Amino acid sequence: MLSNDRGLLFIISAASGTGKTTLAERLVQTLPNLRMSRSYTSRAARAGERDGVDYNFTSRPEFEAMVQRQEFLEWADVFGNFYGTRRPDTEKWLASGQDVVLVIDVQGARQVKATGIDHTAIFVLPPSFPILESRLRGRSADSEEAMQRRLAAARAEVGAYVDYDYVVINDQLEPTVVRLQEIIAAERSRMHRMRPIAEAIIRSFEK
């Protein structure tokens, strides 16, 4: 099958508790040519999280050294911890024709946009603030203070949705996964991405 040589870069952002990680995991399970980027973070691993699987856990000084060496495509301070996407990791996959999804916050998404790299940014919204709050309270063992911080961050972040290419409302998991799959399929067919392949086909029509 003909395809673009270079992979596509997708960004998924959403407030904490919206289900973005679960959605991204379902996407990479169901789409053959898509992989999730593994971020670096200076935060401590939570129970059950594994280094090199959920994140690359690094010390703060190590992270800062990577920033100095300009190794990050984007990085941000989220809730007092550093998180970043290492540029060579992403570049390697894109160059080999794999599509890559970054699950990053709104600050990171802004930085990727500022680089001018070809990408598609998707914002996932919960159906409403009360539903987000009840989902967060249902799943989390956070203190009330940490919960209030997450909720305040959610209020601050959702306004950024207008800067994204697509908005998806995560009402139910599977229909939302399907909507994301459709966006990815549509993006693969965009004119500027298909043009080299289309031109090769058109040339085959020439006498």
Instruction: Give the span between the Cα atoms of 93 and 37, in whole angstroms.
Output: 9
DSSP-based three-state secondary structure for 45: coil
Which stretch in 26-34, 78-86, 186-194, 196-204 sits in contact with ligand 5GP by CB under 6 A?
78-86
Instruction: Judge whether 69 and 87 are in contact, CB under 8 Å.
Output: no
Instruction: Give the span between the Cα atoms of 127 and 167, in whole angstroms.
Output: 12
Q: Kindly state the smallest distance separating residue 189's Cβ from ligand 5GP, in Å.
A: 28
Other beta carbons within 10 angstroms of residue 80's beta carbon come to: 8
By the 10 Å C-beta count (0-12 exposed, 13-18 middle, 19+ buried), 51 is classed as exposed
The answer to whether 90 contacts ligand 5GP (rule: CB under 6 A) is: no
The answer to whether 17 contacts ligand 5GP (rule: CB under 6 A) is: no
Binder among 7, 24, 74, 132 for ligand 5GP (CB under 6 A) = 74
Cβ distance to ligand 5GP smaller for residue 9 or 76: 76
The answer to whether 83 contacts ligand 5GP (rule: CB under 6 A) is: yes
Torsion angle of the four alpha carbons 196, 199, 203, 205, in this order, in degrees rounded to the nearest 10? 140
Q: Kindly state the smallest distance separating residue 104's Cβ from ligand 5GP, in Å.
A: 4
Token duo for residue 27: 């996407």
Strand locations in 126-194, DSSP E?
A: 166-169
Instruction: Specify the DSSP element, H or E, that contains 13.
Output: strand 9-14
Maximum Cα interatomic distance, the chain, rounded to a whole number of Å: 73
Name the residue with the smallest CB distance to ligand 5GP. 108
Which stretch in 83-91, 92-100, 137-145, 194-202 sits in contact with ligand 5GP by CB under 6 A?
83-91
Cβ distance to ligand 5GP smaller for residue 78 or 151: 78
Instruction: Judge whether 188 and 4 are in contact, CB under 8 Å.
Output: yes
Cβ distance to ligand 5GP smaller for residue 32 or 80: 80
**100-139 footprint of ligand 5GP as x/- string (CB under 6 A):** ---xxx-xx-------------------------------
Cβ distance to ligand 5GP smaller for residue 3 or 115: 115
Which residues are near ligand 5GP by CB under 6 A? 16, 39, 43, 74, 76, 78, 83-85, 103-105, 107-108
